[in-house]
Amino acid sequence: TQSTNTADKSVKSADNASTDQKKTYIVGIDGEYPPYSFIDKNGTAQGFDVESIQWIGNKLGFNVKIQPIAWDGIIPALNAKKIDMVYSGMTITDERKQQVNFSKPYYKVNQSVAVHNDSTLTLDDFKAGKGKIGAQRGTTGAFWVEENLVNKSVIQADQLVTYDNFPLAATDLQNKRIDFAIYDRPPMLDAIADKPLHLVGEIDTGEEYGVAIRKDDTELLNTINKGLDLLHESPDWAALKKKYKME
Ligand code: ARG
């Protein structure tokens, strides 16, 4: 698999390479994760999560620098202090909690499964392991397949094909190199929108997104939790959801 063209590159952000005394926090994102975090054609970071942290920074008086990082290495980058937080649709899981702290949850999602429009495969076929499954490496979608299909010998390990980012999986599904793709529902809808692909169903994982922060950085954890409270109480929260067509 290739790596993303935006990974590990600095990007322009709407705010501020500032000369003031404010703190600057570096926010790690996957730059290929619309509608939560993505780099537009001008090289500017956009998305629901990007605008959320910019809002919180404005409200609480800190600067935000958006830093795209390859998803699979994003927690190591956080713990190596290359970034100060991960704010990019990261599901709060017990495994990740051993490595990082999470803010309070800010969004709920399920996994969804897509196929080619020419395909007659169903969600039951997916669960029965009838074909190759694409997922982004290091995501809860890939973990679900490992736990429920690979480890239970429903599929062979090589039937799970992992990618550095999800658009690569969507392209392989379009080209019929794989039979299914699994991903969080909102970014899945975005990825299939302009392709001959459709959803066959959802897996009710009931995941919650949180902002990941280094374990020793309790000051930042408190700041983000306070910022999330303020954002959620504000009319801007509904406006943001509407802008990015979130449920
Ligand atoms: N919510 C899933 C997870 O935490 C998928 C996240 C993918 N996020 C991203 N920015 N690529 O594993």
> Domain check: are 70 and 142 in the same one?
no
- With a 6 Å cutoff on the Cβ, whether 190 touches ligand 1 is no
- Among 109, 137, 139, say which to mutate for ligand 1: greatest number of ligand atoms within 8 Å of CB: 139
User: What CATH number does the domain containing 89 carry?
Assistant: 3.40.190.10
Total domains in the chain come to: 2
Q: Determine the distance separating the centroid of ligand 1 and the alpha carbon of 74, expressed in angstroms.
A: 10
Owner of token pair 């694409």: 134
Domain containing 125 equals 110-207
**Residue 6 domain flag:** no
Q: Is residue 49 part of a domain?
A: yes
Q: What share of the chain is helix, strand, coil (3-state, %, to 5)?
A: 35, 25, 40
Pair 47, 166 in one domain: no
Average pLDDT across the chain, whole number: 93
Domain annotation covers residue 2: no
Tens digits of residue pLDDT in 145-180: 999 999 999 999 999 999 999 999 999 999 999 999
Residues 121 and 200 reside in one and the same domain: yes
First to last CA, the chain: 32
pLDDT category, 7, cuts 50, 70, 90?
very low
> Do both 94 and 126 map to the same domain?
no
Q: Which atom of ligand 1 is nearest to the CA of 165?
A: 11
Q: What number of residues does the chain have?
A: 247
In a domain, 8, yes or no: no
- CA–centroid distance, residue 68 to ligand 1 (Å): 13
Residue 14 pLDDT exceeds 70: no
**Rounded CA separation 232/52 (Å):** 10
Identify whether 14 is part of a domain: no
Does residue 202 form part of some domain?
yes
Are 230 and 202 found together in one domain? no
The reply to whether 214 and 203 lie within a common domain is no
199 and 216 assigned to the same domain? no
Residue 80 within any structural domain of the chain: yes
Give 10's pLDDT tier (boundaries 50, 70, 90): low
Question: Tens digit of pLDDT for each residue in 57-68?
Answer: 999 999 999 999
For the CA of 143, the nearest atom of ligand 1: 12
CB 102 within 8 A of CB 213: yes
